[in-house]
């Protein structure tokens, strides 16, 4: 049933936007009663953040240690591009980010549930690379973490460009080169 609800939430969000999305409309689309939703989540914000978090965990596992910065960054770029390139994510991400600018509660929930785990994963990549001697010990981890995620989000939100293998490869090389100087 959760998969059906997740699909209904993403379809409703893509179709109406966060501000107009309601628990009632999600329940109707999912073919369940509102009580089924409220048993799991106290609000639409909690429901949305919970389901998007689950999607991130299910579809964007922690990056593996490939043994090199180049490999780790390539794996991170590939996993992130695969997630952001999913049609429903491409449709809902712009609205979620816009709504997060209007709602501090939603922004905080998204940061805690979605952004913090990704930043921790990137930090692990950076720490491993520093330990291997591939990055300087005085690396600015905050800047480097921003650097790794921003190009893919920009490509999705602003240019709506493809995230094809050629782009991923060029991006990986550029990121690795930039990381060497991000201190």
Q: Which of 12, 1, 72 is nearest to 39 (CA)?
A: 1
CB 75 within 8 A of CB 125: no
Q: Does domain 60-179 have CATH number 1.10.3720.10?
A: no
Tens-place pLDDT, residues 6-58: 999 999 998 999 889 999 999 999 999 999 999 999 998 889 888 877 777 66
Q: Where are the domains of the chain?
A: 1-43, 60-179
CATH (one of 1.10.10.60, 2.60.120.10, 3.30.70.890, 3.40.50.300) for 1-43: 1.10.10.60
CB 148 within 8 A of CB 122: yes
Confidence (pTM)? 0.84
Tens-place pLDDT, residues 102-149: 888 888 888 887 788 888 889 999 999 999 999 999 999 999 999 998
Residue 72: phi and psi, rounded to 5, are -65, -45
Q: How high is the pLDDT of residue 85? A: 85
Q: Rounded to an integer, what distance in angstroms lies between the CA atom of residue 90 and that of residue 102? A: 20
Residue 137: how many other CB atoms lie within 10 Å: 8
Q: How high is the pLDDT of residue 1? A: 66
């Amino acid at each position: 049933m959760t998969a059906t609800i997740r699909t209904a939430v993403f379809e409703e969000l893509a179709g109406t936007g966060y501000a107009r999305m309601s628990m009632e409309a999600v329940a109707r689309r999912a073919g369940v009663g509102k009580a089924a939703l409220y048993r799991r989540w106290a609000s639409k914000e909690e429901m949305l953040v919970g389901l998007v978090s689950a999607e991130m965990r299910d579809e964007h596992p922690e990056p593996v240690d490939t043994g090199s910065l180049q490999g780790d960054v390539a794996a991170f770029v590939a996993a992130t591009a695969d997630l952001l390139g999913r049609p429903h994510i491409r449709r809902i991400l712009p609205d979620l980010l816009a709504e997060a600018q209007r709602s501090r509660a939603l922004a905080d929930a998204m940061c805690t549930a979605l952004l913090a785990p990704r930043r921790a994963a990137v930090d692990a990549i950076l720490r491993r690379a520093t330990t291997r001697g591939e990055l300087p010990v005085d690396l600015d981890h905050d800047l480097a973490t921003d650097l790794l995620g921003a190009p893919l989000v920009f490509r999705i939100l602003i240019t709506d460009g493809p995230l094809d293998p050629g782009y991923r490869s060029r991006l990986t090389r550029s990121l690795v080169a930039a990381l060497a100087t991000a201190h």
